[in-house]
Structure 1
């Protein structure tokens, strides 16, 4: 398991993109639609195959009739960094060890194909302490984005179930830049080097 991308959630994609741009000084590029979940996104490389995703409901799309993914169902408030996603080479095996992470869903957008674990209620595994799991069946999305000069420096995650999540990960975090500590509520923030210097994203 290794860090794949970070997710900003927003109720409106343009507002989410503006939040990313205000934080980092760079505007994420248009991504695409996820018809199955009624969402669309924008993307920004943050180096070494990693990327930042801005995710929001698509106004023209009907509600999918089931909870939206990646914690978007019931999301409120201003746009914010709200999720972390880790890739695995074998999603089924990973879910055998962490069944609470969800059920595998097959998705495709253009030439990209991937499988992702989604809990039935659309919420984040362990309240966000445990990452969303993804398996790329094509070249990972992060390797297809232009290099804009951003490099992830660190990710700080605070969550009530931090200790339990660390146990579920075998006692080791998937990336040395990630810290996970206990807290009374879930929070995630990142430090990212940009062409204009280090920036904070939350």
Structure 2
């Protein structure tokens, strides 16, 4: 069986703060979000809930204690000023250099603690 090039990875709930995002998830799903981590390259932080082996629900917001990135933050967080909402669904690629061309943007290696993608 051939695996698809792109696979579902996670849903991102965007929020002004992690507390607002966690409250949104709690109110709508009755779930408390576990701790996530920081993304220094983007100046964001998150909460993550596993939905399966490799699928997640994420709450993400600007990290007020994080660095100011030299690029726009993902999910348009620099301009976001509303109630928490689903900001995006994210797919993963087994071979990103083969699956995407430069017209899709720059490929950037990311880390969060010991995790790399």
TM-score (norm 2): 0.87
TM-superposition CA deviations, 1:34-71 (whole Å, max 9, x none): 11111000011223421101000011123213211133
* Correspondence list, 1:42-191, <5 A: 42-96=47-101, 99-114=102-117
Q: Which blocks of at least 5 consecutive residues in structure 2 are unaligned?
A: 1-5
TM-score (norm 1): 0.52
State the alpha-carbon separation in 1 of the partners of residues 75 and 104 from structure 2: 11
Q: Which blocks of at least 5 consecutive residues in structure 1 are unaligned?
A: 115-202
**RMSD over aligned Cα, in angstroms?**
1.4
State the alpha-carbon separation in 1 of the partners of residues 48 and 9 from structure 2: 13
State the alpha-carbon separation in 2 of the partners of residues 101 and 42 from structure 1: 27
State the alpha-carbon separation in 1 of the partners of residues 114 and 67 from structure 2: 24
The aligned residue for residue 3 of structure 2 is none
- How many correspondences in the alignment? 112
Bigger Cα Rg: 1
State the alpha-carbon separation in 2 of the partners of residues 48 and 60 from structure 1: 31
* Correspondence list, 1:6-17, <5 A: 6-17=11-22
1:41 matched to 2:46? yes
